Every structure is written in C-alpha cells, then in structure tokens.
Chains A and B, each alone.
Chain A
Amino acid sequence: MNFPQDLLYTKEHEWVKLDGDVAIVGVTDFAQSELGDIVYVEIETVGQTLAKDEIFGTVEAVKTVSDLFLPVAGEVLEVNDQLSDAPELVNSDPYGEGWMIKLKVSDLSEIEGLMDVETYKQHVGH
C-alpha cells in the first residue's frame, strides 16, 4: 500500500496536497482498495464554498456508496473531469490521475489539523 510522504491526510481517508492556498484533494490508496471497483464519482459542488467536513461528492463502487468530506473549509474550484468517463483512475492512480478536486482554502490554519503520513499510517493500522 502506497502512502506518499509529501501529502496530508484525513481520518476519512482523503489526501491533501497544498500549493499556496490551493489544495488538491483525492482519496487514499487505502480508501480505493477498501471501496473496490469504483463505478461513479459524482461531484457537483464546483463553485460552492463549503465548511470543513461537509460532503462535496460521493464515490460509488459496485457494492458501496461513500460520501466525500471536505478536508478543510474552502471553495471548490475545479473537479477532475476525467473521472466522469474514467472513474477507475481512482483505483489505478489515486494520488495522480485519480485526483478529485482543487480547493481554494479559506483558512490556512485548518491545514494544521490534518494528519501527516506517519499518523495516517497508524490510523489505518499500517
């Protein structure tokens, strides 16, 4: 299982990559393997400003539906359009082509509440 060092993580199994005040958000390798074959990624919150932990979309696998929770408050700037035709990218490349949204972070201090890689590994029992 892959846990990149340079990312931040949430207990809901999302990863965050910060560049200035813009964060790229996706789900972790652990999350995609737990979900299994992902069939739909549904994100219809582009342009919306949401609070931390608000639902910004859903992921559907063959057997399960999972909500996606915003790691930190902000405005959803962009969604990965590729996922509407190729949701399996989340399975095959969760930290790369399977990214989900770009987010303009409202309050950078909230970033400090995210987990580093070692804490996240412990969280999932690795």
Chain B
Amino acid sequence: MEEQLKLVHLNDIHISLGAKMVPFAGYSMPVLYSNLIQEHLAVRNAAGVFDVSHMGEFVVKGERATEFLQYVTSNDVSVLYDGKVQYSCLPNDKGGIVDDLLVYRWNENEYYLVVNASNIEKDWNWLQQNNTFGVEMENISDNLSLFAVQGPKAIEALRKLTDLDLDSMEYYSFKAGTVAGIEDVIVSATGYTGAGGFEIYVWNKDAHKMWNAIFEAGAEFGIIPVGLGARDTLRTEMGYCLYGNDIDDTTSPIEAGLGWITKFNKSFINSDFHKQIKENGATKKLIGFEMIDRGIPRQHYEIMDAEGNIIGEVTSGTQSPSLNKGIGMGYVTPSFTKSGTEIFINIRNKQLKAVVSKLPFLK
C-alpha cells in the first residue's frame, strides 16, 4: 500500500533529484540517486549526504533516567558524559534484541535515543512497559530530520557552515549549536559508513535550508546525495550489523559479536542469560567472510563446510565496491569462526569457496 507510506520531510527534493524511491521501514526512501558504485565511492573518497530522517528519536528525562537506561540497554551508560554518544542495544526478555540504538547524553537527567525506523513503535512500547523508574519520555521522530554527511571531506564542508569546533570532536560525541545560520542543531560525530563525518539533527522547519547549505558548502568537494543502497554496501564493508538482517528478536548480542556493548558490571533486562552465553560459549556466532570464488553472497544463502554440510546462514551480503569482491556476514557453528577458515556459500546450488575474515573488511 504505497499511499500509506510515510514521507520524509524532504520527499519532494529527492524526487526532483531523480531518486529511485522504495518502501523501507514504512517510509518511502531514496535508495539510489545516480549510480550505486559512484555514490559508494563518493562517501569513501570525498563526501556524500544521506537523508535518514526515517530514524526514530526519543527524549528520556528524569532523575532516574540513567538508572532506567542502565536497566533497558546492554552497554554501560555510567561511562557517558555530557556530549558523549554510545552504541548499545535493547535486550528483550527472550534472549534476543528489541533494537540496536545510539544513546546520547545531554546531561545526567536527560538523554536522547536514536532507534531504527522499523522499530519505533516496538521500542516505544517496550521502553514504556519497562519504565518503572518514573522517567518522562517523548517521541520526537516526526519533527526531526537527520542528514548523515559522511566521508573524508565532510568535515571540510561543514566547517564552512559553523563556528562549532568540529576538529576537536572525538568519534561518538556531539554538540548543539548553530549551523548554516540555523539554531538548535545537533552535530554528532557518528555515522554508519566507516568513512568519517557527521550526522546532523535539525527540526523539520529548517531541514530544507540545511540540506541546501550542505550541498552548497560541499560542492567544491564533489558532495552528492547518496541512497540507502550505498548505505548498505558501506555498512557491510565495515561489518556493522543491520537490525532485521544480522540481529533481531532472537539473536543474543554475544552471538552477534556485540560483546563490546554488553557489559556485565551492571544488571540489565535478561543480563543473566547473556552472561551465561558468554561464559558457556554461544552455539552460533556471527562471522564475516570474503568470497574466494567469484560470486555474491546474499541474505539467507546457506553456509556449508567442505563436505556440503550446512553450518549456517548468510545474514548480509553484497559485492564490495571498495574491494571488488563478494563479502558477507552470517551465523555459523562455533568451530568455523576462526579467521582464515575455509567455508562454502551455496549460491544457486553451487558451493562457492569463501574464507572467514576479520571485521571490518575494509581496514
């Protein structure tokens, strides 16, 4: 039902730019503007802009906000300071993950959560249900636009638009201020590409002005709009998990290689379960692999051993535009997780050779 899709605030701009629009997470989203490989390489080598306004944003406020987030997220919120961002996940009570998210600390009584568009309602309900801490929550997803300005030249473009000291910003930190003459903007040194750059949160009323300012400032660096297609190839090259592909309601963060955001120095929803997996060993683990034979792995393809026994399943896969070969991620039984291990991907009934590889693929 196309007419029921939600539109991002700049929908008309994307259409006028000739973007191919597709349904994604309940939104009509630009998947491609010109050419996927060009868009991908623009982000790796120069700069590109994604409109990712479909993402969800919640405000969490209250004296017990930190305590609440310690309980509902897997990472350790206590290490955050004002202006710091943390990657984390919301474990469910059945051993899986409700969503992965970013936690922004404004101050000790106020945080912003950035969640996947496909899970906004599910996350909201889950958080409400577990809010026994009296925190106040607000869903501001529909009022905010989010532009990811990514690539090695992103900082040079944005420097022209703001007095904020972007150069001193550490990875996974944020600042609020004026950008392109627009007040009340959040600039976050985050992204989903591994190419460096910033994400800019702006109220919808200022979104159009911000979009134009970014492209004007970036023109000399060859900045171009980039669709979700390249966003997926870029994140896959970095081995970043995509909710719904690599993690979901049934996968433990420990199995997904997200032990680094799963901290047992505190207790959180279902933490004992994940701690046991960590101590006793997981029955499956997420790996990265590169194709040796020519072929492109895709989601749901079988992973096999040399004898043709099924040992797992591909969760994400693509041709890597940077490496010019097929790369993928998938869950396998623990004896096949060591990097260098030979595995086979069943591509249209042919067992094509691949090798387990350390993540990220792009060093």
| A interface residues, Cβ below 8 angstroms from B | 36-37, 39-40, 58, 60, 62-63, 65
Contacts and interface: CB of A to CB of B under 8 A. Distances in A.
Contacts of B37: 37, 62
Contact of B35 (A37, A40, A60): A37
12 contacts: A36-B36, A37-B37, A40-B294, A58-B348, A60-B319, A62-B229, A62-B296, A62-B319, A63-B233, A63-B318, A65-B296, A65-B298
Contacts of A65: 296, 298
Contacts of A36: 32, 35-36, 229
B295 interface: yes
A62 B348 contact: no
Contacts of B298: 65
Nearest to B324: A39
Given A36-B229, A40-B295, 10 more contacts: A36-B32, A60-B296, A60-B319, A62-B36, A62-B319, A63-B36, A63-B232, A63-B233, A65-B296, A65-B298
Contacts of A58: 348
B191 interface: no
Nearest to A58: B348
A40 B296 CA distance: 9
Contacts of B83: none
A37 B36 contact: yes
A50 B295 CA distance: 25
B259 interface: no
B26 interface: no
Main secondary structure on A side of the interface with B: strand
A54 to B, nearest CB: 15
Interface in B312-338: 318-319, 321
A37 B32 CA distance: 12
A58 B295 CA distance: 11
Nearest to A38: B319
3 A-B pairs with the lowest CB-CB distances in the bound complex, closest first: A39-B319, A62-B319, A37-B37
Interface string B37-52: 1000000000000000
B294 A62 contact: no
Contacts of A37: 35-37, 321
Nearest to B20: A34
Interface in B289-307: 294-296, 298
B32 A62 contact: no
A44 to B, nearest CB: 10
Contacts of B321: 37, 62
A40 to B, nearest CB: 6
A82 to B, nearest CB: 16
Contact of B233 (A40, A60, A62): A62
Nearest to B320: A62
Contacts of B348: 58
A74 B97 CA distance: 52
Nearest to A64: B298
Nearest to B37: A37
Nearest to B229: A63
Interface string B11-44: 0000000000000000000001001110000000
Contacts of B296: 39-40, 60, 62, 65
Contacts of A60: 295-296, 319
Contacts of B232: 63
Nearest to A34: B20
B337 to A, nearest CB: 27
A114 to B, nearest CB: 27
B332 to A, nearest CB: 22
A58 B294 CA distance: 13
A37 B324 CA distance: 12
A62 B318 contact: yes
Interface in B222-237: 229, 232-233
A36 B295 CA distance: 17
A60 B352 CA distance: 15
Contacts of A39: 296, 319
Interface in B91-114: none
Contacts of B233: 62-63
B40 to A, nearest CB: 8
Nearest to A91: B35
